[in-house]
Structure 1
Amino acid sequence: MKGFLLSFRSEFYKSRKTIGFWGAVLLPLLISLLALAIFYFKSEKFIAMPALALWIQFALVSLGVMGTLLLPVFIIFIGYSVNSVEHRADTWKTLFSLPISRWSVYGAKFAYAVFLVFLCLDLFVLFTISFGNLLSVIKPELKFNTYHLEWELTQIYFKLFLSSLGVLSIQFLMSLLWSDFMKPMGIGLVLTIVGITAASKDWEYAYLMPYAHPMEALQSMFRGQKGPARDIVINVFTKDIYVSVAVAVVVFIAGYFIVQRRSVK
């Protein structure tokens, strides 16, 4: 455990000035600021909306951008950025020759990649809630403060986080084994397009494709609602989420044995 914690801390210090780390912070900030600007300057279009519908429209600005295309692309980028420092400096052999087990090094790198994705999505929740409540102060005619959507937003982004794990595990392994950025990026983008197409066309087996999981997560988010809007229930653990987590576990374990048995250049 000590070796794992040391390796995780090392990943933070190595990446804290990189685009990968700041992308996890700035991406939710900039998209949430865009939503804030839209609702501030076009407030007259939203005044008549009930508070729940207002919150949903506001949250959908970020979800519509992040949940369809940006999240898979962000995951592809994070999977590579965590390993890019070693690739650029050619320090893989040095890293694995340290008196720390390969399991600790490999596990800490993967855990840090997971942390960056979690941080990004967690900040989306924070900024969405904060900016929505800010709008109720600077634009009192927007009644954001009359309804609370914190728990629902947390569930939504938690589901998106779980849906990203399968893609992240695959991209992380490809980026660890290939120093060329274009290979994992190219493969990831092609599979993302295929996954988005399958999910958007409601293919019955799309839930088996990791790269379709973020869009599948959004599409399967809500159970059929027959009651009033206030009784809305978000279905977090759908079959696509179980597949995503299973893929992440299998690929993570397989990746360790691959790294353990081969020379990483």
Structure 2
Amino acid sequence: MKGFLLSFRSEFYKSRKTLGFWGSIILPLVITLLALTAFFVKSGDFANKPGILLWIQFSMISLGSMGTLLLPIYTIFVAYSVNNVEHKADTWKTIFSLPISRWSVYGAKYAYAFFLLFICMALFTLLNIGFGNLLSVIKPELKFNEYHMEKELAQVFFKLLLSALGILSIQFLLSLLWSDFLKPMGFGFVATIVGVTLASQKDPWKYTYLLPYSHPMAAIKSMVKNQHGPADRFEIAVFTQEVYVSLIVAVIVFFAGYFIVQKRSVK
């Protein structure tokens, strides 16, 4: 455990000035600020809408952008940036020659990549909640305070986080084994386009859920459970088919990646 913690802390110090690290903060801040600005400028268009509808429309600016392309692409970039630090400095052999187990190094790098995704999704949750309540103060005609969606927003962004773990594991392994930019990033971009295209269809292919790169888009589409009660009460379906597949893929590829790295020489 000590080796894992040392490696994890080392990842923070090595990446704290990189775009991968700051992207986890800047991305949610920029998107939610744009949503805040849009609602502030066009407050008259939303003045007569109920609180629940305001929250849904406000949060969907973030959810729509992250569930389509931004989350898969950011996940691909995070996986690449965490391993690119070592590729760029040519320090893989040095790291694996230290008196720290290869498992600790591998696990800490993956955990740090997951940590960046978690920070990104947590900030999306907090900023959406915070800015929504702020709008009800600076624009009283926007009745955000009539409805509370803190729990639902946390569930939705948590679901998006889980849906991206399959992509993270695959891209983490590819970016660890391939030192150049084009191979892991190119593969990820093409797979994302295919996955999003398949998942966004009105009648998607029945096996689309098996493609990890389609999971964020599919997670948004399967967000709300079938409702039969009042319109102001709904439940978020967190653990849906694509989320389960994402978790299974993430675990299998993570352990497979470790055994691959353990058996081969990483340059």
Tell me the TM-score normalised to structure 1 length: 0.99
Tell me the distance in 2 between the aligned counterparts of 1:77 and 1:237: 25
- CA-CA distance at 1:231 after TM superposition: 2.0
- CA-CA distance at 1:230 after TM superposition: 2.2
Tell me the distance in 2 between the aligned counterparts of 1:19 and 1:234: 32
Structure 2 letter corresponding to 1:193: I
Equivalent position of 1:241 in the other structure: 243
Tell me the distance in 1 between the aligned counterparts of 2:87 and 2:119: 24
Residue deviations 1:36-84, cap 9 Å, x none?
0000000011011100000000001111111111000000100100011
Equivalent position of 2:208 in the other structure: 206
- CA-CA distance at 1:134 after TM superposition: 0.6
- CA-CA distance at 1:224 after TM superposition: 1.4
Tell me the distance in 1 between the aligned counterparts of 2:208 and 2:223: 15
1:85 pairs with 2:85: yes
Tell me the distance in 1 between the aligned counterparts of 2:53 and 2:66: 20
- RMSD of aligned C-alpha atoms? 0.7
Equivalent position of 1:172 in the other structure: 172
Gaps of at least 5 residues in structure 2 are: none
Tell me the distance in 2 between the aligned counterparts of 1:105 and 1:55: 42
1:48 pairs with 2:48: yes
Equivalent position of 2:139 in the other structure: 139
Runs of 4 or more, structure 1, over 4 Å off, are none
Tell me the distance in 1 between the aligned counterparts of 2:223 and 2:118: 18
DSSP-derived class of the 1:179 partner = coil
Equivalent position of 2:192 in the other structure: 192
- CA-CA distance at 1:226 after TM superposition: 1.9
DSSP-derived class of the 1:231 partner = coil
- CA-CA distance at 1:97 after TM superposition: 0.3
- CA-CA distance at 1:239 after TM superposition: 1.1
- CA-CA distance at 1:146 after TM superposition: 1.4
Equivalent position of 1:256 in the other structure: 258
- CA-CA distance at 1:160 after TM superposition: 0.3
- CA-CA distance at 1:20 after TM superposition: 0.5
Equivalent position of 1:39 in the other structure: 39
- CA-CA distance at 1:204 after TM superposition: 1.4
- CA-CA distance at 1:177 after TM superposition: 0.5
Residue deviations 1:150-189, cap 9 Å, x none?
0000000000000000000000000001110111110001
Equivalent position of 1:232 in the other structure: 234
Tell me the distance in 2 between the aligned counterparts of 1:186 and 1:29: 27
Residue deviations 1:117-171, cap 9 Å, x none?
0110110000000000111111011011111100000000000000000000000
Tell me the distance in 2 between the aligned counterparts of 1:184 and 1:30: 27
Tell me the TM-score normalised to structure 2 length: 0.98
Tell me the distance in 2 between the aligned counterparts of 1:183 and 1:229: 47
DSSP-derived class of the 1:230 partner = coil
Which residue, out of 214, 217, 222, partners 2:224?
222
Tell me the distance in 1 between the aligned counterparts of 2:97 and 2:231: 58
Identity %: 69
Gaps of at least 5 residues in structure 1 are: none
Structure 1 letter corresponding to 2:236: I
Tell me the distance in 1 between the aligned counterparts of 2:157 and 2:207: 23
Equivalent position of 2:102 in the other structure: 102
